[in-house]
Amino acid sequence: MSETLANLTNTITAIAAIGGVVVACRGLRTWKHQILWQQGRGLAVSLVISANKIRLKALTVQSEFAFHYDEARPLQESQFNKLATDVRAFVADLDSLVDELEGLSVEAKLMWDVSFDEVISVFRDSAHSIRGYVFGGIGSISPITDSFQRDQARGTMNMFRDDIYGQSSIFKNMKGAIESIEHIIKEKLPR
């Protein structure tokens, strides 16, 4: 009888050990999924925030740098230097924000195996249009250039002006790109 009881005890202990291993494996798997979800959620939030920062920064170009599309007189050199410094800082900030979004898109590609190339292209093209507009605007009022060079710069500025102020503006494209990011995130981030 004691031998049967010992065998039964050993069997129960073995079953309990196997059950403990199964529960531990399930717990580790749940923990792993929770960590992956948290990382994905953090990445998703960063992607949306980064894209919206670019859009908001780009929107300020309409109020901060409104250049005349017709003949404008050159600014005084001190005024021009201040404005040129502001334009360079603005463009550097905008480019930095686009670079940040591109870095996050690479991380998303590694995590979710999706491509944000089209989205990044929209933001790069928008930054290019803004850059062309503000640098053309600065050139059109430069006190150190002659009237021919100012006219050339004004032409460049006007070429990009419709991208910023027109009906099919870059801001509509950026809004669509942000919606695309949100759609991809909804598909890839489990609830």
Give me the tens of pLDDT residue by residue for the chain, a chain 191 residues long: 678 777 778 888 878 778 887 877 787 787 777 767 777 888 889 999 999 999 999 988 888 887 766 666 788 889 889 999 999 999 999 999 999 999 999 999 998 899 999 999 999 999 999 999 999 999 988 888 888 998 899 889 988 888 888 776 888 999 999 999 999 988 887 66
What per-residue confidence (pLDDT) applies to 82?
A: 92
Return the amino acid letter for 163: D
CA dihedral of 54, 93, 58, 64, whole degrees rounded to 10: 150
Q: Rounded CA gap, 179 and 52, in Å?
A: 10
| Domain that includes residue 42, residue range | 2-188
Which residues in 51-60 are b (16+ Cβ under 10 Å) and which e? Answer: bebbbebbee
Phi, psi of 141 (to 5 degrees): -125, 15
Q: Rounded CA gap, 164 and 128, in Å?
A: 11
Q: Rounded CA gap, 3 and 92, in Å?
A: 82
Cα separation values, 1 from 12, 15, 124, Å: 16, 21, 81
Q: Rounded CA gap, 124 and 99, in Å?
A: 9
Residues 119 and 180 sit within 8 Å (Cβ to Cβ): yes
Count of the separate structural domains present in the chain:
1
Cα separation values, 106 from 50, 103, 110, 114, 185, Å: 13, 5, 6, 9, 14
